[in-house]
Amino acid sequence: MKIWILSLGLLLYSVAGFSNGIKMTTYNVALAPGFVPLSEERVSVVIDLLQQQESDYFCLAEVWRKKDRKKILKALEEDYPHVHMTDIDQLRRGPRPTCRISDLFGEGKFVSCILDKCKDQDDSDFTQCLTQKCDVPLDGLIGERPYCAQSLMAQVGSSTTRAIIRVLNPLWRAGIFAYKGSNGLMVLSKKPFAKKGLVDLTNISTLNRRGALYTKIIDENKEPHHLYCAHLSANLERTAPYTGNFEGWEQENMAQVQKLLESADHGPRATYVMGDMNCSFALPSLGIRPDFEASCELFRQAGFDNFFLEQNPECTFCEENTLLKNDLKDGRPNFMLDHIFTKHVPQSKTSRVFDELVEVEVDGKTILSHPSDHYGVVLERD
C-alpha cells in the first residue's frame, strides 16, 4: 500500500514539471502572406508536422496572423495545453495623415513608380520589384518622411490600393509594423509554466515587431529552467530598405541580441535561448555563409553553448528550399539562422528537422514544397 501511494505521488509530481530529460523544437513556420509563397496553403501542412513531431516544447516564429494562431492552438491544444503568446497590437506614430499625396504621387515619387513598374506583380515578386526598380524614390521618401516610408513598407500582404488608402487616411495614423503589429511568436508546452514574460524589443524594431517570449519551468528536482523564444530582425537589404533608427539591419539585430542577453542572465541556472536569431556563423567547409555573425558571437561571448553548431551543423535557411526564389538564392545562399543557445546545460543531442518536401494543395493540384522557407532545430536533453 505504501509503495503504491509513493508511486502515485511520484507520478503526480512528474506531471507538474519535467524530469531532467526534455525535448524542445524551434521552428520558423514562415506563415507570412505577401512575403513567403504559399502561406495560405501551407498552414494545414505545418499543423500536421507539429502534431507528428514529438517535443515537450515548441518555439514557433512567423505565426503572424490571428487566424493562423487559432488553427494551431485548436489542433494542438490537447497535447500542448500550456501556451504563451502576446496580443496582436499595432503601434501608430507620426502625423495624421501618415503620408501626404505629394509624398507618394508625381514625377520621381514612390507610389507613382510602383504603379508604373510593379502593378502586375504579386506577393514576393511585388516586394522585390518595388525595392529594386523603385529604390531611388523610396530612399527619398525615407529621408524626407520616415514615418510615411515605415508605414507604407509595413503594409506587407495588402493590395496597393488598400495600402495607399491606409497611409493617406486623415483620421488616424497608419501602423508602422507589418501584420497588424504581431510579433509572430508562439510557445506551446506540455509542461506548465512557473512564470511567463516578454522581452519587448518594440522600440528597437523596424518593419516587424520583434521580441522574445520568456517562460520558466520547474523540474522534479525543483530546479528552474529559463527558456526564451525569440525572432530578431533579419537582413532585408535585398527586399526591404532600412527605415529605422540604427545604421542598418545589422546594427538593429545586434542591439536586440544585447537586450535579450541582459534579460537572459540567470546566474548558474539552466537557460535556453532559441529561435530565428537571423544571424549565422561562417562554416566555409560546409558551404554555410556568415550573416550578422557578430551578433551570433555575442552569445558565445556571454558564455552560451550551441550544441547544433558543435555537433552536426547544417544550414537552416538553404538554397535548396523550394520556397526561396531563384533570384534570391544567389544573394542569400546557405545560412544557419535558427539556433538553440544554452547556458549551464549539459551536453545535449541536436538535429535539423522539417527539411523534407511535403505535399501541398494549390488550386486543386498537389505539388511538392518545403513546409517553410526555414528548417527547424531540435535539442534533446537526457
Q: What is the pLDDT of residues 201-231, one digit of tens each?
A: 999 999 999 999 999 999 888 999 999 999 9
Q: What is the pLDDT of residue 12?
A: 34
Supply the DSSP string of 171-191, one letter for each residue: TSPPBSBSGGG----EEEESS
**What pTM was computed for the model?**
0.89
Q: Which fold has domain 21-90+179-381?
A: Deoxyribonuclease I; Chain A (3.60.10)
Cβ atoms of 323 and 373 within 8 Å: the answer is: yes
Task: Kindly state the DSSP code that residue 267 receives in the 8-state scheme.
Answer: T
Q: What is the pLDDT of residue 382?
A: 79
Give the chain's residues under pLDDT 50.
1-17, 326-329
Report the SS3 class of residue 113. helix
Tens digit of each residue's pLDDT (9 = 90 or more) over 68-93 = 999 999 999 999 999 999 999 999 98
Q: What is the pLDDT of residue 77?
A: 97
Mean of the per-residue pLDDT values of the chain: 89
Distance in Å from the first CA to the final CA of the chain: 31
Report the SS3 class of residue 313. coil
Task: Kindly state the DSSP code that residue 204 receives in the 8-state scheme.
Answer: G
**Cα angle vertex 186, ends 180, 189, to 5°?**
160
Enumerate helices (H) and strands (E) in the chain, giving the number of each: 13, 13
Cβ atoms of 190 and 80 within 8 Å: the answer is: yes
Give residue for cell 508536422: 49
Q: What is the pLDDT of residue 93?
A: 85
Cβ atoms of 338 and 374 within 8 Å: the answer is: yes
Q: What strand order describes the sheet that includes 82-84?
A: 82-84, 186-189, 57-63, 22-31, 376-381, 349-353
User: Dihedral of the CA atoms 164, 170, 172, 173 (nearest 10)?
Assistant: 60
Q: Provide the residue ranges of all domains of the chain, joining segments of one domain with +.
A: 21-90+179-381, 101-168
Q: What is the pLDDT of residue 306?
A: 98
Report the SS3 class of residue 110. helix
